[in-house]
Structure 1
Amino acid sequence: MSRFIKKDGMHRSLEGWPLVFTVLTTVAILVGGLVQIVPLMLAGDAETRIDTVEPFTPLELAGRDLYIAEGCVGCHSQAVRPFRHELERYGEYQKAGETVYERPFLWGSKRTGPDLARVGGKYPHLWHVRHMEDPTSTSPGSIMPPYPWMLEKDANLDVLPRKLRALRSLGTPYTDDEVENAVQIAQQQAEEIAREIEQQGGPANLESKQIVALVAYLQRLGTDIDQAPETAEQEHDAGSAMEEPTAEARD
């Protein structure tokens, strides 16, 4: 055996012992996994918490699911990087504490469309309705496909109590009232948004449609951050001083 090891090396000899090789490989994987996972578990809430960040409302959660299901996340990241050209275009850079209640988070850097981390409140509700129905009507030259069925199909709100209950088990601070009355809370918010869409000159009777849930979610993005103007200006100056990315890193 010693001649075999000397001739072909230790690795080849281990391959000849499948049980030993399997055990050693498993041990290596376990050690590597512990080295990466344990520090994260011990860190806990070491990251800076943002007091103004709150969980999504039931309707916003429904809209977020649609955002993911329809593939919006594939073209629109939600992570403003600390570079001057991004700060000037999208606003304040993203912080880890903003996504503490997001499962899964929707970070990214490759964009076919603009980053949407700060889109909340940038446009009226009707703009989003028209954009989803026909993107070129609001953004001439857009290559985004239309989603007209979102104005026709009803949003599935019945799953919301189970969803909130599951998220609460993972640490999202939903109350018993929010969990039990998730459908009613979502319907109330949907009626308010649908009423505003109609007042802005849009179609009526959208309160049960998918588009309203999506609008609720989009209008929430970035609105949890409430900073004084001077603080935002200081952070902008700090970001401006950072090194600009290479051409390959730009979107």
Structure 2
Amino acid sequence: MLKLHYNLEKVSMGLVAAIIVAASIGGIVEIAPLFTIDETVEIPEDMRPNTPLELAGREIYIREGCYACHSQMVRSLADELDRYGPYSMTSESAYDRPMLWGSKRTGPDLARLGEKYSDSWHVQHLLDPRSVVPASIMPSYSWLDQDLDVDLIKDQLMTLAKLGVPYNEEMIKQARQDLFAQTQPDSDFVEGLNARYGERVAVRSFDGDVSRLTELDALVAYLQSLGQLTLQPYDLFEEVAQ
């Protein structure tokens, strides 16, 4: 085998051809299963896509590079289950474009973060991390206390719908309205929001200021939705535990 490789090194074009063949085999092995993804990934009945506000928060999460320090995938290892809870399921990321599983854990995994801490804790943690976690090395994101740009939200839903996320025409049409409604519990539009995304959607002023819609509102709404788009992993985890 070593002799064959040694001889290939003498013939540059032969070595290039061998590399292409090896890479092609590896590529086929990785890509082929994707053609049957619809058959292998069963989406839970209670699974929902992100609301417009959560989606806006997800875009901020990506913009600020949060994925570089936080993963969103709990592995099926005992210590991870003890720390974070149920392991992540493929179906939970079925509507993610792009997926944010990550592999770097400068900070803790966030896959099960939703509703673990209060909104005020998240706001304070984002504005001044060390005020709630003294040993934190996370930078401050004080600029998030600015008005949220909502001009592109309908276009974002339309784009994701074309990529397979189940946003229907009504969701796209009412995107801007639903975005504001999620931070205004007394709004007449909350009923429509719940009809489109379900009763488990968190409806409240996430940054504590009902007079403004800020990037903090959006990002905290997204963080509180992590691990909450379907309850299937928790149900399965309890069944196994019993």
Please say whether Structure 1 and Structure 2 have the same fold, judged by a TM-score greater than 0.5. yes
Question: What does residue range 39-58 of structure 1 map to in structure 2 within 5 Å?
Answer: 39-58=33-52
Conserved 8 A contact 1:187-1:207: no
Provide the C-alpha distance between the structure 1 equivalents of 2:213 and 2:86, rounded to a whole number of angstroms. Answer: 34
Q: How many residues align?
A: 220
Q: Are the structure 2 counterparts of residues 190 and 45 from structure 1 closer, same or farther at C-alpha, using a change threshold of 3 Å?
A: farther
Which of 167, 170, 178 does residue 163 from structure 2 map onto?
Answer: 170
Conserved 8 A contact 1:194-1:212: no
User: Could you say what secondary structure the match of 1:191 adopts?
Assistant: coil
Provide the C-alpha distance between the structure 1 equivalents of 2:30 and 2:235, rounded to a whole number of angstroms. Answer: 38
Conserved 8 A contact 1:119-1:221: yes
Amino acid at match of 2:118: P
Which of 129, 149, 160 does residue 143 from structure 2 map onto?
Answer: 149
Q: TM-score, normalised by structure 2?
A: 0.78
- Within the alignment, does 1:132 sit opposite 2:137 as a pair? no
Unaligned stretches of 5+ in structure 1?
Answer: 1-7, 199-203, 238-251
Provide the C-alpha distance between the structure 1 equivalents of 2:136 and 2:124, rounded to a whole number of angstroms. Answer: 13
Structure 1, residues 27-56: CA drift from partner, whole Å, max 9, x if none? 776665445323321343312322222110
User: Could you say what secondary structure the match of 2:183 adopts?
Assistant: helix
Question: What does residue range 69-218 of structure 1 map to in structure 2 within 5 Å?
Answer: 69-151=63-145, 153-192=146-185, 195=205, 197-198=207-208, 204-205=209-210, 207-218=212-223
Q: Are the structure 2 counterparts of residues 61 and 9 from structure 1 closer, same or farther at C-alpha, using a change threshold of 3 Å?
A: same
Conserved 8 A contact 1:131-1:137: yes
User: Could you say what secondary structure the match of 1:102 adopts?
Assistant: coil
Provide the C-alpha distance between the structure 2 equivalents of 1:212 and 1:57, rounded to a whole number of angstroms. Answer: 13
Provide the C-alpha distance between the structure 2 equivalents of 1:51 and 1:114, rounded to a whole number of angstroms. Answer: 29
> 1:21: how far off?
9.0
Conserved 8 A contact 2:8-2:15: no
Amino acid at match of 1:36: E
% of aligned pairs identical?
41
Q: Are the structure 2 counterparts of residues 185 and 32 from structure 1 closer, same or farther at C-alpha, using a change threshold of 3 Å?
A: same
Q: Are the structure 2 counterparts of residues 23 and 189 from structure 1 closer, same or farther at C-alpha, using a change threshold of 3 Å?
A: same
Conserved 8 A contact 2:205-2:217: no
> 1:64: how far off?
0.4
Conserved 8 A contact 2:56-2:218: yes
Amino acid at match of 1:83: L
Q: Are the structure 2 counterparts of residues 21 and 143 from structure 1 closer, same or farther at C-alpha, using a change threshold of 3 Å?
A: closer
Q: What is the root-mean-square deviation of aligned Cα atoms in Å?
A: 2.8
